[in-house]
Amino acid sequence: MHTFRAFRTFRGRVHVHGRSRASRGAPRALPACAAALTAGLLLPGVVAAAPATTPVPAADTGVPAADTEVPAAAPAGGARPAAGGVQSFPLLPLDAAPRAAGDPATTGQSEVPPGTRGLPATETRPFALLGVLWEDPAAEPPGTVRVMTRAVATGQWSAWQDLDPRPAHAPDADSAEAGDAGVRGGTAPLWTGFADAVRVRVVPHAGDPAPALPAGLRLELIDPGDGSGATPPATEPGPAAEHRERPAAADGRGAPRPPVTSRAGWGADGSLGGGDPVYTDSVKTVFVHHTAGSNAPTCAETPAVLRGIHRYHVQSQGWRDIGYNFLVDTCGTIYEGRAGGVAEPVRGAHTLGFNHNSMGVAVLGSHDATSPGPAVREALAALAAWKLGLYGGDPLGSRNRTSGGGTHPAGTTLRMENISGHRDGTATGCPGDGLYGDLPAVREAAARAQGR
């Protein structure tokens, strides 16, 4: 329970996917001095202060209330919708925002760089995952996107965390999904754990003049819900999938199907998204990803993380479904991602330019510096051996792949391993050096599983 009672309450409008309604008792923008009291100095090595026990005078945040769009107030008693939800905030110019001494957003910086957009410290309904969006899905913000959040459990603020703004996870430009109305560009989502306040900065790269940021910048906050209020997803693929003829492995090699937790098992909301799954001809390449971010979820949190990513991809970015075909947590549990049948060559939205005839599997957490461990390697090997084996693929092999556009212009041919990292297809550090360094061992283990 927060003890601040003197914050100014904004009244504005709430946007709910194209609809607006009046908002009363909306989340509160925290004045800089209050944020400093709540968080202390938000730099590495400095401990955040405990929440204040006396009212803090309200202060002007520099953002006119009339221009601020905020979601409706949280339900009484802090209750959250069982099926989850989305809060959306426009990111407004911060150039003129006042900067109080000790303000964690400006400590160590003399001024807000020209052209910066963002959100001052603002209280919200609880959320656990976030991302920043913009209108043009092909655009890439020429700058840095940074956030800090306040944990519900401790009341302490995080340090600044960078979001990856590169459109490396997306439907291919030549796909019907990419042409759907409402598809938007966005950062990779960040799992924050449950938080109830947030601050955002989008800072353009230096220049004279500074490069323009893309239109329609806004912050999306995702409450994954508890899964109990979600519409149950279909348990079987549609008729098109049931009647597909899958070619037998050319050399008779294959591997058993590993255990896979279904979409129903992680509480996927079947009411999200639209359109039937799109099938390609085969699965020739397995692309390995990580979800990045410094807030590594526990294995017990995995279903909530998946529900959050699913909602962000569909409701926020406008995709038809979660982008990955499979996801793996750090305990080695494999989860079904995009719907359409786990044995089928379902076209995903995971490796821009190379989603055709491929499969995307994301390992939860950040693996930039360290390996995720043997449980993840074993799960990746078992999954890749089985799925490649269904279509005659050799885990130790490689093949030419033709880009559908993205980092590599459409028509560009690249030689890729049949088990590749996301970075092999586009300009990204994903899946992190630690996990990427595990891929040779994953290929060897997958080949053994196929009897090679």
What confidence tens digit (pLDDT) does each residue in 93-141 have?
996 555 544 455 444 444 688 889 999 999 999 999 999 999 998 887 7
Distance between CA atoms of 163 and 190, rounded to whole angstroms? 7
The one-character DSSP state at 346 is B
Q: Beta strands of 338-412 (E only): which ranges?
A: 358-363, 398-402
The pLDDT assigned to 428 comes to: 84
Whole-number pLDDT of residue 445:
98
Using the structure block, give the residue that is written with the tokens 């995709």: 319
Question: Binning pLDDT at 50, 70 and 90, where does residue 9 land?
Answer: very low
Name 440's Cβ contacts closer than 8 Å, sequence gap at least 6.
Answer: none
pLDDT tens digits for range 144-188: 999 999 999 999 999 999 998 876 778 877 788 887 878 999 999
Higher pLDDT residue, 87 or 47?
Answer: 87
Q: What is the pLDDT of residue 221?
A: 99
Q: Quickly tell me which residue has 């079987």 as its tokens.
A: 236
DSSP character string of 63-121:
S-GGG---PPPPPGGG---TT-EEEEEE-EE-TT----TT-TTTTT-SSPPTT-EEEEE
Instruction: Tell me what the pLDDT averaged over the chain comes to.
Output: 78
Is a pLDDT exceeding 90 seen at residue 228? Answer: no
Residue 294 — pLDDT band, cuts 50, 70, 90? low
Q: Is pLDDT of 438 > 90?
A: yes
Mean pLDDT of 303-318: 96
65 falls in which pLDDT band (50, 70, 90)? very low
Token pair for 71: 């979601």
Find out whether 40 and 49 touch, Cβ atoms under 8 Å.
yes
Measured CA to CA, the distance from residue 396 to residue 379 in angstroms comes to: 17
Amino acid at 96: A
Q: 239-449, what's its fold?
A: Lysozyme-like (3.40.80)
DSSP state at residue 28: B
- pLDDT confidence tier of residue 208, bands split at 50, 70 and 90: low
- For 391-416, letters b (16+ CB in 10 Å) and e give bbbbbeeeeebebbbbbbeeeeeeeb
Q: What does the chain come to in residues?
A: 452
pLDDT (mean) for 248-261: 79
**How confident is the model over 366-384, as pLDDT tens digits?**
898 899 999 999 999 999 9
Domain ranges of the chain: 13-223, 239-449
Task: Decide: 159 and 148 in contact? Cβ < 8 Å.
Answer: yes
Q: What are phi and psi for residue 420, nearest 5 degrees?
A: -120, 165
- Taking the whole predicted model, whether its pTM rises above 0.85 is answered as no
Query: What is the CB neighbour count within 10 angstroms for residue 76?
Result: 6
Q: Which residue has the higher pLDDT, 28 or 395?
A: 395
